């Protein structure tokens, strides 16, 4: 390796100087990234893990725990956790980032066991635990999944035999709540059984894990086929798979459904794991997956019924991914509410239609459809950023109640219970 050759040359130079030999400057080793001779690797063993680091002109390079990491010097100064730079009680930064010299470089660097010490030109010392750096480095985050998930089609979900949680256990015990949230985070859907079929009990259930998100539909809503709102959902017609509120800048995170009464036939609920379908697209046509994650679209909701007057517009791609690890975190799919496509140039639009068709085919595969009959006493929670829902047409009187939940609060509850979310 080039750095071994560099160390050898530096060692040879020192030997010559010690022996009183006057020599000309040694030729620089040939490699792609030329470094000054003063730069060298420092090797040490730390708790059976080999650690090596090198100070470059514009960044610090660290090899530890099978990870090669690179840190900008401003980043290293900015993230100092000393008492003067970081309030450990509030977990907030005290250092004014704008006060850090953008050309800052450490005066000295040394390693003591598993702690790196950086001494800055003004004498301030920053120390970092090696494991903290691995966890919080860009390279470490690239290998980390933000939220573990189990992708499913109908067969996978049914074979998993994911248990429902009893209402009393959900409301009164941490174990029941944690079990419910663990299932919800893994699969994107979860059920609570034996809930009294009233709006008040459904509301109490929802408030156990989150603040209720009030929207143009209200806080808690009743759902019948009286067409009281300007939406196809308020009819007896079948609804194709979709995610809700795609016309919000931030679509609602979680949806709660509770069928309070149904005097008729039909009306089964359709559930499809959108992330499973997207994964199939990624495997079969990665270029189409990429296109769906980059092309922004408008979704629109226009309502002028009775006293309800609304015009909502949300903009974003169908697939939303974290740029550093390519993890999918949100699918925005609603053919009913997709607005005129005027955000895509002509030379891209046809390729987008092909990609959209590929995703739609996956979403509509019968083996990916999980059908469930909602009934009084059984409450369904849906991750609206992941799982698409629909329904078959029905007859008779059917009444549902439900609400949207604030996603941040659901994830907050999960983290406080020790779950990764």
pLDDT value of position 32: 35
What's the pLDDT score for residue 37?
35
Which of 308 and 282 is assigned the larger pLDDT?
282
Q: How confident is the model at residue 270 (pLDDT cuts 50, 70, 90)?
A: very high
- Per-residue confidence (pLDDT) for residue 39, from 0 to 100: 57
Rounded Cα–Cα distance for residues 382 and 386 (Å): 8
pLDDT at 231: 55
Distances (CA, A) of 218 to 226, 231, 402: 17, 15, 10
Is the per-residue pLDDT at 13 higher than 80?
no
pLDDT at 331 exceeding the cut of 60: yes
**Confidence class of residue 235 from pLDDT cuts 50, 70 and 90?**
confident
| pLDDT score for 49 | 74
The CA-CA-CA angle for residues 177, 182, 186, to 5°, reads 150
Q: Is the pLDDT of residue 24 over 50?
A: no
- Residue 237: phi, psi to the nearest 5? -75, 155
* Residue-level pLDDT at 85: 98
For the segment 137-145, the average pLDDT, to the nearest whole number, is 94
Q: How confident is the model at residue 186 (pLDDT cuts 50, 70, 90)?
A: very high
Where does the pLDDT of residue 21 fall: very low under 50, low under 70, confident under 90, or very high at 90 and above?
A: very low
Kindly state the average pLDDT of the residues 345-362.
97
Kindly state the average pLDDT of the residues 15-41.
41
Q: Quick check: 72 pLDDT over 90?
A: yes
Q: Which of 28-37, 242-251, 371-380 has the lowest mean pLDDT?
A: 28-37
% of the chain with per-residue pLDDT over 90: 80
- At residue 29, does pLDDT exceed 90? no
* CA distance linking residue 149 with residue 130, whole number of Å: 28
- pLDDT value of position 234: 67
Distance CA 105, CA 120 (A): 7
Q: Which domains does the chain have, with CATH numbers?
A: 20-142 (3.30.2020.30), 154-416 (3.60.130.10)
Task: Look at residue 50 in the predicted model and tell me its pLDDT.
Answer: 86
User: What pLDDT was estimated at residue 229?
Assistant: 47
Gap between the Cα atoms of 194 and 297, Å rounded = 41
Query: For position 236, what pLDDT does the model report?
Result: 79
C-beta pairs of 211-215 under 8 Å, 24+ apart in sequence: 211/405, 211/406, 211/409, 212/403, 212/404, 212/405, 212/406, 213/252, 213/253, 213/403, 213/404, 213/405, 213/406, 215/245, 215/248, 215/252, 215/404
Query: Is 387 a residue whose pLDDT tops 50?
Result: yes
Average pLDDT score over the chain: 89
Return the minimum-mean-pLDDT range out of 4-8, 66-70, 159-163.
4-8
Q: What was the pLDDT predicted at 228?
A: 55
167 CB-near residues (< 8 Å, 6+ apart): 192, 193, 194, 195, 196, 201, 205
pLDDT of residue 43: 72
**Among 90-94, 97-101, 211-215, 220-224, where is mean pLDDT lowest?**
220-224
What is the mean predicted confidence (pLDDT) over 145-172? 97
* Whether pLDDT at 199 is above 90: yes
pLDDT at 227 over 60: no
Question: Which residue is listed with tokens 């003067």?
Answer: 84
Report the C-alpha gap between 291 and 355 in whole angstroms: 7
Confidence of residue 27 (pLDDT cuts 50, 70, 90): very low
């Amino acid at each position: 390796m080039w750095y071994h050759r560099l160390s050898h040359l530096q060692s040879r130079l020192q030997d010559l100087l010690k022996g009183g030999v006057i020599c000309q400057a040694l030729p620089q080793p040939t490699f792609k990234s030329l470094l000054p001779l003063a730069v060298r690797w420092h090797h040490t063993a730390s708790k059976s893990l080999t650690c090596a680091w090198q100070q470059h002109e514009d960044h610090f390079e660290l090899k530890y725990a099978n990870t090669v990491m690179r840190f900008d010097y401003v980043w290293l100064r900015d993230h100092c956790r000393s008492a003067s730079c970081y309030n450990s009680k509030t977990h907030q930064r005290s250092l004014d980032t704008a006060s850090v010299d953008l050309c800052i470089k450490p005066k000295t660097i040394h390693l003591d066991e598993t702690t790196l010490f950086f001494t800055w030109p003004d004498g301030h010392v920053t120390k970092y635990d090696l494991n903290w750096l691995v966890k919080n480095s860009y390279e470490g985050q690239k290998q980390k999944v933000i939220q573990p998930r189990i992708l499913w089609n109908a067969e996978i979900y049914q074979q998993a035999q994911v248990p429902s949680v009893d209402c009393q256990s959900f409301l009164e015990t941490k174990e029941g709540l944690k079990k419910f949230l663990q299932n919800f985070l893994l699969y994107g859907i979860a059920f609570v059984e034996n809930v009294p079929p009233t709006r008040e009990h459904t509301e109490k259930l929802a408030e156990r894990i989150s603040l209720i998100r009030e929207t143009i539909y209200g806080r808690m809503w009743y759902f019948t086929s009286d067409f009281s709102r300007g939406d196809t959902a308020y009819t007896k017609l079948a609804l194709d798979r979709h995610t809700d509120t795609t016309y919000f800048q931030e679509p609602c995170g979680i949806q709660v459904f509770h069928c309070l009464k149904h005097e008729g036939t039909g009306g089964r609920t359709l559930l499809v794991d959108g992330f499973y379908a997207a994964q199939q697209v990624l495997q079969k046509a990665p270029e189409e997956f990429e296109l769906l994650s980059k092309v922004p679209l408008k979704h629109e909701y226009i309502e002028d019924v009775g006293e309800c007057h609304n015009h909502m517009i949300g903009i974003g791609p169908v697939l939303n991914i974290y740029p550093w690890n390519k993890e999918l975190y949100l699918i925005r799919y609603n053919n009913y509410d997709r607005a005129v496509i005027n955000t895509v140039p002509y030379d891209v639009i046809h390729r987008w239609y092909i990609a959209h068709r590929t995703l739609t085919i996956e979403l509509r595969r019968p083996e990916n459809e999980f059908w469930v009959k909602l009934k009084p006493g059984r409450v369904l929670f849906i991750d609206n950023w992941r799982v698409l829902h629909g329904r078959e047409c029905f007859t008779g009187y059917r009444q549902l109640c439900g609400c949207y939940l604030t996603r941040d609060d659901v994830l907050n509850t999960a983290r406080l219970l020790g779950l990764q979310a």
